[in-house]
Amino acid sequence: MRDCARKRCWTARSPPGDGGHMPQLFPYRHLFRFPGARAFTAGNLLARLPMGMFSVSAVMMIAGSRGSYALAGAVTATGLAATALVAPWTARLVDRHGQARVALPATVVAVLGSLSLLLCVRHDAPDWTLFASYAATATTPNTGGMSRARWAHLLAGDAKALHTANSFEQAADELCFMLGPVLAAFLCGTFFPEAGTLVGAALLLTGMVLFAGRRATEPPVRATHLPGRAPLRAPGIPPLLAVCLAMGGVFGATEVVTLAFADAQGRESAAGIVLALQAAGSCGAGLLYGAVKPAGPAATRLPWCVAAMAALLTLPLMAASLTGSLLLLAAALLVAGMATAPTMVTTMTLVQERTPEGRLNEGMTLAVTGLLGGVACGSAIGGWTVEHLSPTAGYVVPVTAAAVALALSPCSPSNRFTDCLASH
């Protein structure tokens, strides 16, 4: 009797064959017993992997052909800015008309933009064509957000299962951003400079076709989005976007500073492995975090997660400043990365809770847009610090960005009487 009461929220939407009981030791296996869950996840992972490939592939392709990293960086920065502008509108269309009807055409436009960039580089077209082509890739749908929206639909009313699903999605994000750059560098270096872009475009289109084809798991289009409040104006969302902006600064600064630190030691080729270890730490922690029952509401957990991130980010700073060892820095980044996934899972859970019904894709995409903006700012500030001070001093930037995220977090001391009271 007590067992049934404790698991009553799961039985309402249990997949066939589980008897209404959630296997406590295998929460992830249980997720994929929903019909169609494995298929849409496989397609989503294929479509998501190129997100970690495109920028590296574009830089290697453009720099190798034109001999200018400045041009390559400017082109990718233009694509990032275009994504920040276009992605929320694409997500709004997805919420309004459905994932399959919008995501697939938007993906085709993005793939054509990637192929146009490849042809322009290969045939020595004017520089402005590179900017225009790469800007067209901004229509790429937020595949991670759409996958989280499907889980929210399938697991409606089951907070524990949704926590597990969100943890899995965050681990998948980390895995794709860990493997994507490595795969891109391998393809461009082993075969030909355009190989990374070509394979990335093929994976994106194939994955999106598989994902969009699973219509049974697609969230229904709701009419409530018409009179509903925009996610950007929903209570509690602006502070979360500010937190995302600050956390993006952590990621952007850490990447640039680590590249500079490895380059200063003449081991630039090892930088990718060092950064991959950070993503691996986050991926492992995300899977573990999803397997345990979260204590308390997400609004209460967030400041603790961000505080852990800020504290652990002091480890790379100490490793760089006290030892100067790239090996110890890699170990420190591995440990520091373990706070990333729990923080992101909790943040995205809050975004889901506070986004108006029927506009979840738009709300999730706004959070990703905030992260991208923070990555751009963190990269710029980290690069300036490295150039004018030192790579070691650059590790102060992610620690500072994490401290800012903590100050902005709902239910932190600075927001105790506003967001915390509103959330409870």
- What average pLDDT does the chain have? 81
Q: Is the pTM of this model over 0.95?
A: no
- pLDDT at residue number 411: 57
Ordered domains of the chain (ranges, CATH): 37-222 (1.20.1250.20), 230-424 (1.20.1250.20)
Q: What is the pLDDT of residue 268?
A: 65
Both tokens assigned to 181: 């750059």
- What is the Cα–Cα distance from 294 to 285, expressed in whole angstroms? 13
pLDDT value of position 228: 55
| pLDDT value of residue 15 | 53
Q: 100-138, pLDDT tens digit by residue?
A: 899 999 999 999 999 999 999 999 999 999 999 999 999
For 333-381, the pLDDT digits (tens) are 999 989 988 898 888 888 878 887 777 778 878 888 888 788 878 877 8
Among 247, 385, 255, residue whose Cα is nearest residue 306: 247
The answer to whether the beta carbons of residues 159 and 13 sit under 8 Å apart is: no
Q: Who has greater pLDDT, 184 or 114?
A: 114
Q: Looking at residues 11-15, what average pLDDT do you find? A: 44
Q: What is the pLDDT of residue 9?
A: 39
In the block, which residue shows the tokens 């992605």?
87
d(CA 364, CA 348): 7
224-256 residue pLDDT tens: 444 456 777 777 888 888 999 999 889 888 887
CA distance 279 to 177: 7
CB contact burial 153-169 (16+ within 10 A = b; e otherwise): ebbeebebbbbbbbbbb
Q: Could you tell me which residues come within 8 angstroms of residue 389 by beta carbon, excluding any fewer than 6 positions away?
A: none
Q: What would the pLDDT profile of 302-324 be if each residue is shown by its tens digit?
A: 899 999 999 999 999 999 999 88
In whole angstroms, what is the distance from residue 313 CA to residue 59 CA?
Answer: 28
Query: pLDDT at position 417, please?
Result: 37
